[in-house]
Structure 1
Amino acid sequence: MRKPAPVTRRQALATLAAGTVAARHAFSAAAPLFRYSALDHLAIAVEDTGKSVRFYARVFGNDVLKEKNGPRHYVKLGPNYIAMAPPAAGEKSRIVHHMCPGIVGFDHAATKRALDQLGLKYRESPTVGFFVGDPDGTQIQLWTENSWAPIHQTAIPANIPSQGEPLIRPTALDHALIYVSNVEKSVEFYEKILGPIINPSSRPRRTWFSGGGHDRVALGLAGPGEKVGVHHFCLTANFERASLSKSLEAVGAKIIPGDVAAGLDFLDPNGVHIQILPPNRQG
């Protein structure tokens, strides 16, 4: 009988590495610790809260809440919302401060145990869950789904004068794109938080996660001169490009080139990048 060829050290190491990667993906696929319904909300850090509130209320509608004891505001974006407040001491402004995928059946104690089990560092809040930083420091909030309801416990309707019909009526928060400095290191982190990637066989320039929800989170490698963090968030809505572009520019937005032909991309007055896609058209 012919003896099998001896396994070289290089082959053994390659087999071991492949097995380790496969085991890690199998674990994340088999045992996700969190289940999400959707991307619940985002928050931006801005120096002029009043200016930002007026812009978002004009573009997306006058459903606005304000914290009873602070400057933080919340503007409804269809089924989702965006929070805005001045940055804390030492924090950056004019950025997306954090994003929050909504956990189904959120339980504070159980979430804390899960984060400890994963060995992740976090900042705990008794009222709004947990904040976890990815390898580049981008903040992910872990809290309940449909959190627009519980924030009414500390916030009240804001007195924002009507500015006419909204320019955009969002139907969903479709996705958020996060730029990272090291894709593989970030994938390992987000697999712990969101579960397995959803495009494992075709990972080109972006790596996608869903967390079991209807919306998605994408990772992209930051190029030269590009900043890590949330690059843009995307809403779906019905729109007509020419008229919407003109209306957005009239209220202070800047129309910019996008990477989806069917979409419309713009910057808010703080430079935050927003993408609009027609419903049922994914980026």
Structure 2
Amino acid sequence: MVFGAKIFLLIAFCHILRFETYTCALNESKKISSVHSAESGKYTFLVTGGYRPTQDTLTKHLVSIRGPKEIKSFGDNHFCGGSIISPKVILTAAHCVCKRKTRFLKEPSKIIVVAGTPKRCEAANTTQIMKVDRIVRHTYYNPKTLRNDIGILVLQKPIHEDGISAQSINLTLSLTPYSTVCTVVGWGRVFYNGPFPNQALYVNVSVFEDSYCSSVTKKFAYGMFCCGDIYDHQRDSCSGDSGGPLICNGNLTGIVSFGIGCGTPNTPGYYTNVSSYIDWIRKNDSKKIRPEILSILANIFIGINVV
């Protein structure tokens, strides 16, 4: 009876998510009324750990990184997640801001950032659509090994932070202990090659020891860590979650980087370790101040002339 009930709930959950996918195009704020489905391929693994909390306290830190134009409806151009680390700066994965499997950056005009919208397919009063001014990826990012998989989007205008729909998140400054339970938030596929959800999903995973992470793949290197659930391998991030946040103890600890499928047995998800790149983030999270601005500031605050 218990097993049958679990199967029933699992099937019901799948149908709900499919319904969400098909109704994305039907929200009243859109110009195009045709229905777009994100479903493709064979459905293999359901990310059973995904859930929606009674009180959503983390999606405010999350943004949807999208292509410049909708395909058929609002939200169907989503391809990655990102985290608000200051009103004008989004932290994400390098592979989200580079052309496919290369180190070449995408053009800022080819990316938009959507904040303040927990439902991917529905524009709300709090939804903010932001243009990108500048893109930065780590100098030593390697698309083959995914080492140094970290990037920054500097926005043209600041996100309005109200503390409810949009809010910056603090960075983790030190290594996170093994076994710490953390949360991934995103609009990634609900199972391998499955549809993208409308409303952001949460999944809880634990930080694994480096020795285990390195035993699974030769790609594991400095600046990475891996997470999962030893009791339920299907708790995992998936495509579409890439670049989004792994939050531990309320701080941004990891960036969704890569995995082997989604929820595949004995294969954890891999994350860029934010604490390993604090200096790089601080160096690149804002524009350089122009010399003339430095001169003005010096005259005002120091009272000297700068040559």
| TM-score normalised by the chain length of structure 2 | 0.22
| TM-score normalised by the chain length of structure 1 | 0.23
Name the one with the larger helix percent. Answer: 1
Name the one with the larger strand percent. Answer: 1
